[in-house]
Amino acid sequence: MNKKQKSLTNKGFSLVELIIVIAIMAVLIGVLAPQYIKYVESSKVSSDKQLADSVYQAMTTAYIDPAITAGKPNTDLSAQALGTSAATGDFWDSVYKTLGTTDASATNAKLKAAGKADLTWDFNATTQTFTIHGTATQGGAYTIPE
């Protein structure tokens, strides 16, 4: 048999070779998929923490701005939903404008992690500081600032 005849009869992969390749791919997917899913969820939790930090910065900035007078908290508050406690006024308008959203529901809609809960906030009137709280299934609870 010369080279030309041999190449004409051998035109592809055998069934056994294809099954081996598919089995190798299945093992790789079985090993890598759980790690990928865990990585994606942790990135969502990280994104939610970043949003909480942005809310904290926006609230702090609006609070110290002397031009903003309406809607600033002035007593101790705990576990408040975004936009509550004088939800209208310069304060919340400034916070949402800084965040690039229109209201609390639009801000909370940016949360991505599984089992997410809306962000809540506390205000300490003595120290005049805010704390932002959030929860996510994979990341547990987080508080800004820690």
pLDDT 10s digits, 46-59: 888 888 888 899 88
Tokens 């994104």 — which residue? Answer: 47
Q: Is 29 part of a structural domain of the chain?
A: no
Residue numbers of the domain that contains 57: 44-144
Residue 125, domain member (yes or no): yes
Here the tokens at position 48 are: 């939610």
> What is the reported pLDDT for 4?
60
Q: Which two tokens stand for residue 22?
A: 């598919």
Cβ atoms of residues 108 and 134 within 8 Å: no
In a domain, 16, yes or no: no
* The Cα angle at residue 145 between residues 45 and 114, in degrees rounded to 5: 15
DSSP structure class, residue 56 = H
pTM over 0.75: no
Chain length of the chain: 146
Answer whether residue 67 is part of any domain. Answer: yes
For residue range 24-51, what is the model confidence (pLDDT) as tens digits?
999 999 999 999 988 888 888 888 888 8
Q: How many domains does the chain have?
A: 1
